[in-house]
Chains A and B, each alone.
Chain A
């Protein structure tokens, strides 16, 4: 028997009992659809996380002041004012493989521009910021080194701030008041989007570090040179972990911390955060695979069940086919084709439904839609395999029937 004839015969048999075929496929359809949808949505969500982490800047270490204990009261991480812009300069100069460092302080302030006001985050930064965060000025210009040094009253606006204060007008060159201190807008930053924590990174205004200290956010009373945190950007391809150790050693030395004493700072490795997220994404993927496995197995058992019924119903047909010259393997193949056909068609329908569901979900959630053609092919192929696996036993039973008994079957 030719393969094409076997395939035609299988499709004929499935079409004969459309409702039953459809119901049998349902298990596979639901399984495959769920998997395709979840993998696509999960992939889209992960893609977004990766994009958010990348938006922070690649190869970054964040050095934050540590917690301090004052008279038994332990203040939280970042409460100390142990980190200074001199630390930042020292790291840049002494730790190998550091591309750039960027100390900054941040606070909140009310902005006023031509009668419109807006409350936002104010960042005091130096020139390292743009390179460390890989964040460009879209229109206008960055700060001049001279402006940073002298503490000039110049500001760069995030897109959200620019839109809220100026609407459609071009703010570059305009005047702006931050806590009633007049500033000149030198430019608008490029759009950064949401942060990993869901914050709008564009709702921000940048001023030179010294300006922020002297005129806007106020001097830290404990330490005039204190900064909120330091970004350390390590050169591409160099070990972040090594640099982390080097920075730690340097700061312990600079802060005169004795061996055995706790650090008065902490270092966060953004690659670690990314890895943690990757790991949780992997766990999710594994969970999805488990769900897929279970639903495909349930679908497969449904197919096996129906194929067994079908073999019993068609006992006489099998007897007749054997009588007119079918070999046992022809019968085996006929029923395997039917089972595999059920599963593969179910798989294909499942893919269509799954893709549609993924499209709807990612549209609603605002995630990018990520459907890999390989995963679609894999789903169809795998469900076909499920059909063959679970169709095997019924097909074997059919092929082992005794032709005489089968022909006599009522």
Chain B
């Protein structure tokens, strides 16, 4: 049994009088522990795919099973619980709450899980240490660099021990070096057992994945496994190279 199984997954949008087919008959299976890059041009349906897999959106038809459970039949509260316990989201724009510090942002999913304060504190601190921000727990997002903000977002995504980490263009707002750092972090989390889905249109990002699924016009156009590039090795190479340090990308962790 695969972790994620979709069968003829279809998602239609009504745009005025027109009906747009964002997903058309997508039948896929993703196993536990995979590192998948979902690629495709704008409007190819890759983001819709991620939203449906992440239980933020529901398919118009077809079925989606997560760990054998038919998720497409569940109600709103059950989907919220799945998002809370089994999914972790990372977004291009980080989506951190500016009025909370890093710790407060990471704590958020645990609050909705109904966890008590003491346990929340331990879990949030552990997650922040895991992304290398143990020293910056009480910095606000505005006091952190872009890479650090994305690390806070990743800590928030993994704090509840999710099955699947879903990242939508996670490096889209970052410079190339920081991007590699973030990808190295994803690879690390993947090695520790989390299934990772990264939506991207950059080949540079996709090469760190072990499987690349390509979308075009809502359909799966290609699905190939590959030997992933080691992001940590790329970083080490960058450090050896005499290239100037990109601004705002201080290595942390």
Contact = CB atoms under 8 A, between A and B. Distances in A.
Interface of A: 1-2, 5, 9, 12-13, 16, 316-317, 319-330, 403-404, 407
B64 interface: no
B85 A324 contact: no
Contacts of B76: 327-328
A320 B80 contact: no
Contacts of B156: 324
Given A12-B99, A407-B91, A407-B95, A325 B85 contact: yes
Given A316-B95, A317-B97, A1 B56 contact: no
B95 A325 contact: no
16 contacts: A1-B114, A2-B111, A16-B99, A319-B95, A321-B112, A322-B56, A323-B89, A324-B89, A324-B108, A325-B160, A326-B80, A327-B77, A327-B80, A328-B77, A328-B80, A403-B56
B2 interface: no
A122 to B, nearest CB: 79
Contacts of B111: 1-2, 5, 9
Contact of B112 (A13, A16, A319, A326): A326
Interface in B4-62: 51, 54, 56-57
Interface residues of B, number: 25
B238 interface: no
A325 B83 contact: yes
A404 B95 contact: no
Contacts of B108: 320-321, 324
Interface centre among B54, B56, B113 (most CB of A within 10 A): B56
A9 B56 CA distance: 23
Given A323-B89, A325-B80, A404 B57 contact: yes
B99 A320 contact: no
Interface centre among B80, B81, B89 (most CB of A within 10 A): B80
A51 to B, nearest CB: 55
A320 B111 CA distance: 13
A91 B95 CA distance: 91
B195 interface: no
Contact of B109 (A324, A327, A403): A324
Interface in B67-116: 76-77, 80-81, 83-85, 89, 91, 95, 97, 99-100, 108-109, 111-114
B112 A323 contact: no
A325 B109 contact: yes
Given A1-B112, A327-B112, 9 more contacts: A5-B111, A12-B99, A12-B100, A323-B54, A323-B95, A325-B160, A327-B77, A403-B56, A407-B95
Closest 10 CB pairs of A and B: A325-B84, A324-B109, A325-B112, A327-B80, A320-B95, A325-B83, A403-B56, A323-B89, A326-B112, A16-B99
Nearest to A323: B89
B189 to A, nearest CB: 17
Contacts of B100: 12
Contact of A324 (B51, B84, B99): B84
A403 B113 CA distance: 18
B56 to A, nearest CB: 5
Contacts of A322: 56, 80, 83
Interface string B180-217: 00000000000000000000000000000000000000
A2 B160 CA distance: 17
B66 to A, nearest CB: 15
A1 B80 CA distance: 12
B29 to A, nearest CB: 24
Q: Identify the interface centre among B54, B77, B112: most chain A CB within 10 Å of its CB.
A: B112
Contacts of A13: 99
Contact of B97 (A320, A329, A407): A320
Nearest to B96: A320
B114 A323 contact: no
Contacts of B89: 323-324
A84 B81 CA distance: 92
Contacts of B113: 325
Contact of A325 (B51, B57, B81, B99): B81
A26 to B, nearest CB: 23
- Which of A316, A317, A330, A403: most chain B CB closer than 10 A? A403
A12 B57 CA distance: 30
A407 B56 CA distance: 11
A326 B80 CA distance: 6
Given A2-B114, A5-B111, A404-B51, A323 B56 contact: yes
A326 B89 CA distance: 13
Nearest to A330: B112
Contacts of B160: 325
Nearest to B115: A2
Nearest to A319: B95
B7 to A, nearest CB: 22
A361 to B, nearest CB: 41
A25 B156 CA distance: 34
A245 B76 CA distance: 75
Contacts of A320: 95, 97, 108
B9 to A, nearest CB: 16
A327 B114 CA distance: 12
B164 to A, nearest CB: 13
Of B81, B111, B160, chain A has the most CB atoms within 10 Å of the CB of B111
B132 to A, nearest CB: 21
A2 B112 CA distance: 8
A330 B156 CA distance: 19
B97 A324 contact: no
Nearest to B86: A325
A9 B100 CA distance: 10
B112 A324 contact: yes
